[in-house]
Amino acid sequence: DSNKPPLIGHRAPLATVQECQEVCAGISDCQAVDWFNETKWCNLYSDSCSSPLADWNQASSWQIAVSCTLHNGTAGIMLKGHCRTGIEVPSVLSTLKTEIPILLRSPKSWCWSLGIALLYAYMVSPTFREALRPVTKVVTVPGGACWRCYRRSGCFVKFMVFL
């Protein structure tokens, strides 16, 4: 294949794809790897492949991410000798910038956060447990009766409840 980057070496067998990537990171000319999970074979390349074609032995292709900045200050990732904007190496800050607005607009996120906060407060605060005793009594008394009935019943009833 004329589009295939030059192979600079291989290692086998290696335990994991992370070990393959670490070998590549330790070689100055290595910029990409092909990892074959079934055979634990690791190919090392001086450049990444633009369109990986291997589909045998659970193959996967990886490239070392190199950050770059254009003259106007726009950040990106170096791919095939060009700084590609719109792609960046994930960091705590970049993840927070993208995920926090999504979380803040999500009702499901708010409900889970509130539920976990209430559960935590109930577990660690005797005052909070005392304040919620009337509410928890409404839930636990019928729930306890149902549980006692369930434990005493036969397999058929348990099976029907399970369905």
Per-residue pLDDT of 132-146, as tens digits, reads 888 877 766 666 666
pLDDT of residue 19: 92
- Tens-digit pLDDT profile for residues 86-142: 877 778 888 888 888 988 888 888 888 898 998 898 889 999 888 888 887 776 666
Do 129 and 122 form a contact (C-beta atoms < 8 A)? yes
Q: 60: closest CA among 29, 23, 33, 25?
A: 33
pLDDT of residue 99: 87
Do 19 and 62 form a contact (C-beta atoms < 8 A)? no
How far is the C-alpha of 94 from the C-alpha of 101, rounded, in Å? 12
Do 17 and 60 form a contact (C-beta atoms < 8 A)? yes
Token code pair at residue 81 = 């000798």
Average pLDDT over residues 40-62: 81
How far is the C-alpha of 18 from the C-alpha of 4, rounded, in Å? 23
